[in-house]
Amino acid sequence: MIKEYLCPKCHGQLMVGDNIVISAKAGDGSEGLISLSPAIGDYTVRFPPTLNAKPGELLILICPVCHRNLASSKHINLAMVIAKDEKGDEYEIYFSQIVGEYSTVAMMGDHVELHGEHVGKYQDMFTPRQMF
């Protein structure tokens, strides 16, 4: 079970209460803090009224602690954060920055877990593909 989520750049805590909180910017320049479910495979997102996020739009996701971009080097559409479980093991969590696109990849070493109806767009970037 995931206990906490961290920025991969500064290791700042992204959990606030029971949610992950990340700063987001839309293409029109609007911005705000979004709230994400910490459960992998649950795509519940809460947007503030100040963020004009439209379905299919690529958001820029930013760490609210160090203000650095969370974009992954694997694909421009993916963000990456670190998840830490109750044993202290760390996982790389990749998820889509596209509004309404449901895709999450959890990686620990060579082990990969795929989630979401749109994950097929990205699964070939994560090899070897041993499921855990």
Judged against a pLDDT cut of 80, whether residue 128 lies above it is answered with no
pLDDT, one tens digit per residue, over 5-22 is 999 999 999 999 999 999
CA distance 119 to 17: 28
Domain locations along the chain: 2-125
Give mean pLDDT, residues 60-77.
Answer: 96
Give mean pLDDT, residues 24-52.
Answer: 95
Question: Cα 100 to the chain's mean position, in Å?
Answer: 13
Position of tokens 């309404």?
100
129 contact partners, CB below 8 Å, separation of at least 6 = 112, 123
| pLDDT-based confidence at residue 111 (cuts at 50, 70, 90) | confident
Nearest 5°: CA angle at 33, between 53 and 2? 110
Q: Is 132 exposed, middle or buried (0-12, 13-18, 19+ CB in 10 A)?
A: exposed
For the beta carbon of residue 67, count every other beta carbon within 10 angstroms: 12
pLDDT in the model for residue 129:
44
Question: Cα 83 to the chain's mean position, in Å?
Answer: 10
